[in-house]
Every structure is written in C-alpha cells, then in structure tokens.
A and B are shown apart, each in its own frame.
Chain A
C-alpha cells in the first residue's frame, strides 16, 4: 500500500522545550488515523506540523512522495478542520466553501457548481447564502467540513472538530465524518483527546504522551494488548485497575498485594521476587459464584446509571468493576471477585512496560 504521509525521526523544539520527540509514523492512502492523548501531549503540534503551520526542527516529512519540511502550508494541498471551525465571518457559506478554489483561480461558475455539489452531500444546500453567525453550532461544523471536502486534498486534518458540540450531536457527527471519509476515499488524520472518538472512528490509533508516541495500532489491538501502563489506563472506560504484585518463587505466578494474597498463574516466566503491576479491566471482573476461587473485597460505593452499575471497593488500591444488571449490593458488603486468567495484563512496576506476550 502506498504511504500518503510519512514522518521519520521528526523532532520539534520550542526554544528548550522538546514538543515532539523522534516521531515515526506512516499513514497509508485511504486510512483514518486518530492522534489521541491528554492535553499537552503534542498531538496538535504534530497535526499543525503536517499542515505546515509549525515547522519541524529535524526529521523528514513526506506527503505523497514529496519532502515537505519547508513547504509553506499553501503548497502542501492539505485541508484542515479547526476546533473553532475558523469560518471566515465576513463571507457567506458559499464564499467560505469556494475560497480555496478562488485562490487557485478556478472559474466562478465552476466554483459555484462545486459548492452546490458539496452542499448537497453535507446538507447545506439551503444555507449557502447565510453568514456563519447565522448558523447553529452543528451547521457551522458542516461548513467547516464542506470547506475541506470541496478541495479534494491529499489528506484531511481534523483538530478536535467535535469538541464544541453537545454530546448527542457529537455521537451523530462521529458516524457522519467516518461515512464521509469512506465515501470520498480520503486520507484523514484526526486529533482528539477523547479515546472513545479515537476508538470508534479510526482504523489506526496513535497514542501520544509528552511528545512521544507511546503506542500505535488498530483500536482493538490497543485495547487487547496495551504496550505499557499509560496506554492501558488511557484506553477503556472506566479505566483499567492496577494492582501491585510480586512474582512468586516459581517464576510462573504472581502474588497480588491485596488482603488474602491471591496467587495468579501467568503463562510466561519472570525472575522470582520481581515487582509488577497486574492490570485488569473493570468489565472483566465478575462476582464469583459460590465455591469459585477469587479474592474477597468489601464494597465502598455503588453507582448505577440504570443499564450499568459501577462498583468501587474499599481496598488499596481502589478497584472498580461493572455489573450489567441491577444489583442489590450496598456499601460495606463483602463479595468475592473473579476473572479469567487470559484477561490480565502484567506490567513491570519500574518501567511500566508490558511483560510477556
């Protein structure tokens, strides 16, 4: 598969501040890639470097086979959807849509036709002569999208485009953006801090922290096999539980650092006495049926949303688990929790990297 965007060894400094550290990323043509991470992780800087709004300090940036390091934004042929939409307030919707075409010197009639075509796709046909201030938030969002679509660019760049919408509209636009991407056969890079957006929309998720790519891959691979504790805790909601543990004498099992010191078998060997963290997702914990083995905890709080019940325990560290039915559990009660061995993740306590397979 041909690579549409390729970054190799990219670094970016602001003075002494190292904003991007040795970024390597290949984005195939037609892929939908999400850059996700907490605020300040460098995901927006990376996107803006692709756009040419920031210049990278070192490394190579190749778009469609051409090295673009020092190209000004206008020569990169990328379209960007901004978080604030950045609609030109002094232009109508139609003028906003055709702005890039007019700069390129496309004929007026042709530009108008293109605007009408795109507006038909995005449902803006009746709004072409309005000004941005006369539109609702969702409509502005569509204009911003349409302005990108009309150009048939080499790639679409999205900078948290849904963060100004309310929750219901956000869920809806998520699907719509993905559908548009598939329909246009476009290449998209999508920045978000919302891991649900990243997981549901993208083919390929890139998780960043402090200017470093922590892990990248298909969404479910990241969920199933997080490379380190940060990724494990970032993907999935509610977040994964981490329980300190120590490798037993035989090197093939670990002792959880919880009352009752439950022993867990692991399917790889580690030096005895080694300190590790055992990660287990809330959705993988179950209340044990009578006689089943597990560990005993007392309940600290029970919160129900109706469909799902979130339970937190009074242990240190706190453990969260989910029940998918109504529950009569109450704070103070004791229960036994159990899980399947294949669902645990083991991380080195020191380096926080994944151990085993």
Chain B
C-alpha cells in the first residue's frame, strides 16, 4: 500500500473513532435543538427535524443564566488571579534551584495537588464558618479553589520556567539588573506563553467547579452555573432539551477556547504532568 493511501485510511479510521468518542457532545447539541416531543421519539432522531433555536432564549431567560454565568466568571477570574499571583513566583523558585528544600517543597506541592475537594470541603466549611468567611461566599469559594488548584498551576508553570536558560537571567544581572528586575523583564516575558496556557487551564477548571460552590454558597443569586445546572436537573426531570440547551450555553465558550488553543494547551499540560 502506498504511503498516501495508508495515511488516508488511517485518517479515515481516526475520524470515525473521534466521531464515536465525541458522540456525547454531539448528542448534547442535537438534543438542545429538538422539540419536546421529538426528544422522546423512538427510534431517536439523529438530526433535529426542525431546530428549536428559541429554546436557548427561553432557557437563558427562565433559568436566569446571565447571573449564573456571571458568578462563574467572577469565581474563575478571581481564582486564576490569585493563583497566578502567588503561584508564578513559587514555580520560578522551585524551577531555579536544585536542592533538598526544593525537593521537599515539590513533594508537598504534589501532595496538596491530589487532595479531593469533596474531602477537604468538610474542614474548610467548618473553619470558614468559624472565621466568618462564609459571609462572603464567592470569595470563600475563590480561596478554596486557589488552594486546591495552585499546586497544579505551580507544577505546570515550573516546567515552563525550567525551559528558560539560567544564563539569560545571569546575563541580565551582569547587565545591571536586580533580581527583581531580571525576573520581571527577562524571565517572565520568556515564560509568558506557558503561564498563560496554565492560567487558561485553571480558568476552565474553576469555571466548572461544583463541590465548593454547592457547599458554601447558599444564596441563589451568588451561585455559579454548575450549581444552577445541578438544581435544574431534578431527580425526575423530563426537560432534557432545556437542560442540554443550558449545558450548551455553559460549555460552548470553554470548548471554543480549547479548540482554538488546543495545541498549546495539550503541550503545556503534558510538559508538566509527566516527562
């Protein structure tokens, strides 16, 4: 078989596999466009007979999605800002040195990275209640997410800093910079892409965060979209087209960012987690 024929065959198989794997996503989009009766048709239809675009407007209005998404955005931005502010410097120091202290620090970071949110929420909730942080529930959630996700960010960004040659920073020092100046003018600009990609990953995680928000935010007007979706899905719901429309509006922005930056996100992710 010639090289091109083989490549075409492989590509065809790959496309089929991708189609199978991504079917649930397709099913979300298709369902969101179906009417109430078409949704329950048997056999199910795989292409909506008449797309019900008005479902989106209806769900947006009736579920008050603007408010939910705004809260998700506030929480995600707050977490990313806090994590980037604290985590970047930490990652830099852990990348720059090789000694016992760095090993211990890395070990602690990796250990914290793995603690499940659903286990940490009990002490965090009780502790936050006692210090009065639950009066500012979104801020409390931001703090909790920052503590949960910062280790992951540090691991990813550290890999980025390791790729910046030490000599560049040394050259900047000899050229008349202080440590602070060399960090801001040379090291940070060179690590910018890696930091950005890691921040986007953290943003995506925080945008979909559920456990902390569900447990700590009682006031509906402050809840993010994940909690909103959860309360939309009652135990015996039959509004699946509406729920899928909600889900569509919730994830499409995330998916768009991901598809646009796919290459960078994938390479950033893999450089940190393994290798």
Contacts and interface: CB of A to CB of B under 8 A. Distances in A.
The answer to whether A and B touch in the complex, with CB atoms under 8 Å apart, is yes
Given A72-B178, A74-B178, A80 B190 contact: no
A84 B171 CA distance: 11
A111 to B, nearest CB: 13
A151 B181 CA distance: 18
B186 A88 contact: yes
Given A86-B165, A86-B167, A74 B189 contact: no
A86 B170 CA distance: 8
A38 interface: no
Interface in A142-162: 147, 151, 157
Residue of B167, B173, B175, B178 ringed by the most chain A CB atoms within 10 A: B175
Contacts of A79: 174-175
A51 interface: yes
B271 interface: no
A53 interface: yes
A50 B177 CA distance: 16
A72 B173 contact: yes
Contacts of B189: 90
Interface stretch (A17-25, A96-104, A249-257): A96-104
A82 B190 contact: no
Chain B interface mostly helix, strand, loop or mixed? helix
A86 B181 CA distance: 17
B93 interface: no
A52 B173 contact: yes
Contacts of A103: 175-177, 181
Contacts of B190: 89-90
Interface in A73-110: 73-74, 76, 78-80, 82-84, 86, 88-90, 99-100, 103-104
A82 B167 contact: yes
A99 B174 CA distance: 11
Nearest to B170: A53
A90 B171 CA distance: 14
A356 B177 CA distance: 52
Contacts of B15: none
Contacts of A100: 175-176
Interface residues of A, number: 25
B174 A73 contact: yes
Interface string B144-176: 000000000000000000000101101111111
B181 A82 contact: no
A157 B190 CA distance: 25
Interface in B167-213: 167-168, 170-179, 181, 186, 189-190
Residue of B176, B178, B186 ringed by the most chain A CB atoms within 10 A: B176
Contact of B168 (A76, A86, A147): A86
A80 B176 contact: no
Contacts of A83: 167
Nearest to A76: B174
A82 B167 CA distance: 7
A99 B167 contact: no
A90 B189 CA distance: 8
B168 A88 contact: yes
Residue of B165, B170, B174, B186 ringed by the most chain A CB atoms within 10 A: B174
Residue of A48, A73, A100, A147 ringed by the most chain B CB atoms within 10 A: A73
A148 to B, nearest CB: 9
A72 B170 CA distance: 11
A99 B167 CA distance: 15
A78 B171 CA distance: 11
B41 to A, nearest CB: 58
B225 to A, nearest CB: 38
B177 to A, nearest CB: 6
A53 B173 contact: yes
A74 B165 CA distance: 19
Contacts of B175: 74, 79, 99-100, 103, 147, 151
A220 to B, nearest CB: 33
Residue of B167, B177, B181, B190 ringed by the most chain A CB atoms within 10 A: B167
Contacts of A104: 176
Contacts of B168: 86, 88-89
Contacts of A51: 170, 173-174
A82 B177 contact: no
A80 B174 contact: yes
B236 to A, nearest CB: 58
20 contacts: A51-B170, A52-B174, A72-B178, A72-B179, A74-B173, A74-B175, A74-B178, A76-B174, A80-B171, A82-B167, A82-B170, A83-B167, A88-B168, A88-B172, A90-B189, A90-B190, A99-B175, A103-B175, A103-B176, A157-B174
Given A74-B177, A82-B167, A86-B165, 10 more contacts: A72-B178, A74-B173, A74-B174, A79-B174, A79-B175, A84-B165, A86-B167, A88-B172, A103-B176, A157-B174
Interface of A: 48, 51-53, 72-74, 76, 78-80, 82-84, 86, 88-90, 99-100, 103-104, 147, 151, 157
Q: Which 5 A-B pairs have the closest CB atoms?
A: A86-B167, A86-B171, A100-B175, A73-B173, A74-B176
